[in-house]
Amino acid sequence: MSTEAPAPLETLREDWERLLCVVAHPDDLEFGAAAAVARWTGQGKQVVYCMVTSGEAGIDAMPPEECRPVREAEQVESARVVGVDTVDFLGLPDGVLEHGVPLRRAIAEAVRRHRPEVVLTGNFRDTWGGANLNQADHIAVGRAVLDAVRDAGNRWVFTEQLVEGGGSLEKWGGVGEVWAFGSPQATHAVDTTATFDAGVASLEAHRAYIDGLGWEHFDPREFLEGMARATGQRLGCAFAAPFEVFPMGWGE
């Protein structure tokens, strides 16, 4: 077993104004990225949330048609806690997302509509860095985000979304980077010491979901502190959020 200390992390750049967060489910962002979002909205940056599904298959004891409005309401409140007032729900089916053209089309439309400079998604590696496998929806969405960001800048892809194809949008090739939070291959991080409490409150807003998981004695603060403290040690601060960075330009 290696005893080498983890490599230091680079500070994530903050020379941008518009961020679009695209994840599979309500609650995904709150398991690691919400404190960073609170930092950025506190700086006056524009942050928009986009949920590919409504998480309607996420509570075993609640049928999807009952679960959907509960989880959407919890996500809207969770976003409000960290200063986000726009939450889009794309309405794709929870639990059975597939990487492919329909998913790319839906995400590309969101990118073209909101015109972000950076797109944030969740970890889409096969694991979280150990033996525990990642969830299929997370993997599908993260991979599709990378493709959809490029699709959004190509006027000949999903042309029906664009003005010249009968839609209402313009192409958008202004995304410089995609960031995946929680990735085991993270190389960057952002200091969340001052906004950590807001991140905890944002996760706590998903009370029905947390209760539905049946995790006895689950403590949102304790859970988030584990990753935040370890990441902070690698960045040189108390708490931090880790990100894998994917440049979307050519030759980088």
Report whether pLDDT(251) > 60.
no
Say what the pLDDT of residue 4 is.
74
Report whether pLDDT(112) > 80.
yes
**Integer Cα distance of 108 and 149 in angstroms:** 6
Q: Name the amino acid, one letter, at 86.
A: T
Say what the pLDDT of residue 80 is.
98
Q: Which two tokens mark 170?
A: 């313009």
Report whether pLDDT(186) > 80.
yes
Report whether pLDDT(214) > 80.
yes
Say what the pLDDT of residue 216 is.
78
Percent of the chain with pLDDT over 70: 98
Say what the pLDDT of residue 3 is.
61
Mean of all residue pLDDT scores within the chain: 96
Report whether pLDDT(77) > 60.
yes
Q: How many angstroms from the chain centroid is the CA of residue 115?
A: 16
Model confidence, pTM: 0.96
Cα angle 142, 149, 98; round to 5: 40
Say what the pLDDT of residue 177 is.
98
163-169 mean pLDDT: 97
Considering only the C-alpha atoms of the chain, give the largest distance between any 2 of them, rounded to a whole number of Å.
59
Report whether pLDDT(40) > 90.
yes
122-139 mean pLDDT: 96
Report whether pLDDT(232) > 60.
yes
